[in-house]
C-alpha cells in the first residue's frame, strides 16, 4: 500500500457500535476509516477481496499475559502481538503480573515502547493495584495513569485485604479507570488446583470452591456501592457469580464482566486425564456454570469475551498437575472457539458475538476503539466464517504451546488483520 489507501471489497460489514450489518465495501485512507457501505470505486487504492467474509472492527482482548519483563522465554510483547494479529486481534491489554510487576510509571512506559517496536497491534498496559502485587501498599496509580495505564489489577490473585481494596477503589475514582479484579478469596482457594467437586474428590486433587470467587465479588460489590468505582470481574466462572453481577447491574452499579473461551467449552471433567493444559485459574467448572455464563452473555450480564492468554514454557507445563502453573494460551484459537460455544449452538448471531469482542471490551477500558465509524482508527478484522480448519498449536506465533484445544476441528478464521490501515496479518 503506497498511498495509504486500502479498499475492502464486497464483505458483510458488521459494526455493532453503529448497528451496521450490510454487504458492501469499506475504504481506508491514512490509517482511518473514510467510507463504509455501498459500492466504492477508488483505482488508487490497494484492494482486498472480502466476498463471503465478515468485515468488522478489529477484535479486542482486554486480558492477556505477555510475560515481558521476566519470562520472555514463554512470551514477549513482540511474539504476543504476533499471536494477537494472527487471532484477528488489533488491540490487547496486558496484565501486570510480570516480573517485576507493572506497578510504576517506568514499567508502563516499557510496555508501550516494546509494543511500538513490535509494531503489530495496539498493546495497552494495565497497572498493578498494589506494589509488587503483594496486596498491601497501593501502587502509584496516578503516575501510571499519566504513563497510559488503562485499568488496574493484581490479576493472578485477588486483593484479599478489604481495607486495601477499599482505598484502591477510592483512588481509581479520581481517574475514571476500572479495577479489574481476579475474584478469588486466596484463603478459600489455598492449595486448590481444580474445581472443588466430585471430580476433584475422585482424582484426589485439592479443590477451589466456587465460593472463593463469589465471596470476593460479594465483598467488592459492597465496596463499589460505597465508592462508585468502576469494577470489572475478570474471567467469571460460576453460576452464582453471574447472578451476583446480574443483580449488581440491575441495582445500577458500574460493574462489568468477561468470560474466557475455556470457561464456555470445558468442564472440570477435562482434568480427568491430569492434562496440565486444563489447569487454569479460576478452574474449569461444571456444565451448569457454563450454561449460566452463556445465559449471561445472551442477556448482557457478561459484557465481553477475553482470552486470559497465559503462556507457559513446556518444561513448566510438564510438571505434575499439582505443581504445574495455572493458565493456557488463547489468542490464536479464541475466535473459532467462541463460534463453537456460541454461534454453532444458536446462542448468539455474528453481530452479537462481534459486539462482545469489539465495542463492549473497548467500553470497559474506555478505549477509543471497536467501531467502523467514518474517521475512526482503521483497525479492521476480516473473518471467513465458513473456513474449517484444525487448531494446531505447533503453528502458533506465540512462543508457547499450552493449549488444550490442539487438534480440535473448528470453523471460522481471521484472514486479514488490519491495524491503523496497515495489513499486519494475512492468511
Ligand atoms: Zn486472573
pLDDT for res 317: 85
Q: Please count the other Cβ atoms lying within 10 Å of the Cβ belonging to residue 175.
A: 16
> How many whole angstroms from 328 Cα to the centroid of ligand 1?
11
Cα(377)–Cα(413) distance, integer angstroms? 23
> How many whole angstroms from 124 Cα to the centroid of ligand 1?
17
> How many whole angstroms from 308 Cα to the centroid of ligand 1?
7
* pLDDT tier, 19 (very low <50, low <70, confident <90, very high otherwise): very high
pLDDT in tens, 266-308: 999 999 999 999 999 999 999 999 999 999 999 999 999 999 9
pLDDT for res 318: 87
φ, ψ dihedrals at 230, nearest 5° = -75, 130
> How many whole angstroms from 86 Cα to the centroid of ligand 1?
23
> How many whole angstroms from 234 Cα to the centroid of ligand 1?
6
Are 60 and 362 contacting, i.e. CB atoms less than 8 angstroms apart? yes
pLDDT in tens, 130-178: 999 999 999 999 999 999 999 999 999 999 999 999 999 999 999 989 9
pLDDT for res 175: 95
Are 354 and 57 contacting, i.e. CB atoms less than 8 angstroms apart? yes
Percent of the chain residues topping a pLDDT of 70: 99
H or E element in which residue 354 lies: helix 350-355
> How many whole angstroms from 182 Cα to the centroid of ligand 1?
5
- Considering the candidates 61, 220, 303, 308, report the single residue annotated as catalytic: 308
> How many whole angstroms from 48 Cα to the centroid of ligand 1?
38
pLDDT for res 2: 52
pLDDT in tens, 232-257: 999 999 999 999 999 999 999 999 99
Taking the CA atoms of residue 101, residue 103, residue 109 and residue 115 in that order, the dihedral angle to the nearest 10 degrees is 40
How is residue 79 annotated by DSSP? H
pLDDT at residue 261 is higher than 90: yes
pLDDT at residue 201 is higher than 90: yes
Cα(71)–Cα(31) distance, integer angstroms? 33
Percent of the chain residues topping a pLDDT of 90: 97
Cα(281)–Cα(2) distance, integer angstroms? 46
pLDDT for res 315: 85
* pLDDT tier, 316 (very low <50, low <70, confident <90, very high otherwise): confident
pLDDT at residue 8 is higher than 60: yes
25 is catalytic: no
H or E element in which residue 259 lies: strand 255-259
pLDDT in tens, 334-352: 999 999 999 999 999 999 9
pLDDT in tens, 102-136: 999 999 999 999 999 999 999 999 999 999 999 99
H or E element in which residue 217 lies: helix 210-227
> How many whole angstroms from 162 Cα to the centroid of ligand 1?
18
Q: Which whole number is the average pLDDT over 259-265?
A: 98
Q: Report the alpha-carbon angle 78-313-69, nearest 5.
A: 45
Cα(348)–Cα(304) distance, integer angstroms? 13
φ, ψ dihedrals at 52, nearest 5° = 85, -5
- Three-class SS of residue 111? helix
Classify each residue of 1-27 as buried b or exposed e, where b means 16 or more C-beta atoms within 10 Å of its C-beta: eeebbbbbbbbbbbbbbeebbeebbbb
DSSP calls for 150-168: --B--TTS----HHHHHHH
pLDDT for res 186: 95
pLDDT at residue 3 is higher than 70: no
Are 342 and 296 contacting, i.e. CB atoms less than 8 angstroms apart? no
* pLDDT tier, 207 (very low <50, low <70, confident <90, very high otherwise): very high
> How many whole angstroms from 147 Cα to the centroid of ligand 1?
23
pLDDT for res 389: 98
Cα(357)–Cα(370) distance, integer angstroms? 8
pLDDT for res 350: 98
> How many whole angstroms from 54 Cα to the centroid of ligand 1?
31
Amino acid at each position: 500500500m503506497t498511498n495509504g489507501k486500502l479498499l475492502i471489497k464486497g464483505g458483510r460489514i458488521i459494526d455493532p457500535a453503529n448497528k451496521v450489518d450490510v454487504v458492501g465495501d469499506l475504504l481506508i485512507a491514512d490509517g482511518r476509516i473514510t467510507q463504509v457501505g455501498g459500492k466504492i470505486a477508488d483505482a488508487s487504492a490497494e484492494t482486498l477481496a472480502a466476498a463471503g467474509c465478515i468485515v468488522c472492527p478489529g477484535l479486542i482482548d482486554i486480558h492477556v499475559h505477555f510475560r515481558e519483563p521476566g519470562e520472555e522465554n514463554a512470551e514477549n510483547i513482540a511474539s504476543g502481538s504476533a499471536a494477537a494479529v494472527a487471532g484477528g486481534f488489533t488491540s490487547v491489554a496486558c496484565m501486570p503480573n510480570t516480573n517485576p510487576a507493572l506497578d510504576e510509571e517506568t514499567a508502563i512506559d516499557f510496555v508501550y515502547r516494546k509494543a511500538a517496536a513490535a509494531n503489530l497491534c495496539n498493546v495497552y498496559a494495565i497497572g498493578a493495584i498494589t506494589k509488587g502485587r503483594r496486596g498491601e501498599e497501593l501502587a502509584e496509580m496516578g503516575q501510571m495513569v499519566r504513563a497510559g495505564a488503562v485499568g488496574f489489577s493484581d490479576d493472578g490473585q485477588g486483593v484479599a485485604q478489604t481495607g486495601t481494596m477499599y482505598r484502591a477503589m477510592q483512588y481509581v475514582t479520581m481517574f475514571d479507570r476500572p479495577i479489574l479484579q481476579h475474584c478469588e478469596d486466596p484463603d478459600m482457594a489455598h492449595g486448590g488446583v481444580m474445581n472443588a467437586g466430585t471430580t476433584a474428590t475422585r482424582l484426589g486433587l485439592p479443590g477451589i470452591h466456587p465460593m472463593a470467587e463469589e465471596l470476593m465479588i460479594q465483598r467488592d460489590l459492597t465496596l463499589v456501592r460505597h465508592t462508585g468505582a468502576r469494577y470489572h470481574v475478570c474471567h467469571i466462572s460460576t453460576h452464582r457469580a453471574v447472578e451476583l453481577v446480574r443483580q449488581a447491574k440491575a441495582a445500577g452499579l458500574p460493574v462489568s464482566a468477561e468470560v474466557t473461551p475455556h470457561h464456555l467449552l470445558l468442564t472440570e471433567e477435562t482434568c480427568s486425564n491430569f492434562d496440565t493444559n486444563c489447569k487454569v485459574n479460576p478452574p474449569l467448572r461444571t456444565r451448569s456454570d457454563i450454561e449460566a455464563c452463556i445465559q449471561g452473555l445472551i442477556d448482557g450480564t457478561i459484557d465481553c469475551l477475553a482470552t486470559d492468554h497465559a503462556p507457559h514454557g513446556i518444561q513448566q507445563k510438564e510438571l505434575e498437575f499439582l505443581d504445574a502453573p495455572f493458565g493456557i494460551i488463547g489468542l490464536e484459537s479464541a475466535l473459532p472457539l467462541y463460534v463453537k460455544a456460541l454461534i454453532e449452538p444458536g446462542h448468539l448471531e455474528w453481530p452479537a458475538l462481534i459486539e462482545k469482542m469489539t465495542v463492549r471490551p473497548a467500553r470497559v477500558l474506555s478505549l477509543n476503539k471497536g467501531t467502523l465509524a467514518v474517521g475512526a482508527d482503521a483497525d479492521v478484522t476480516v473473518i471467513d466464517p465458513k473456513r474449517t480448519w484444525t487448531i494446531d498449536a505447533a503453528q502458533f506465533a506465540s512462543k508457547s504451546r499450552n493449549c488444550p484445544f490442539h487438534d480440535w476441528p473448528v470453523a471460522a478464521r481471521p484472514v486479514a488483520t488490519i491495524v491503523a490501515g496497515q495489513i499486519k496479518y494475512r492468511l
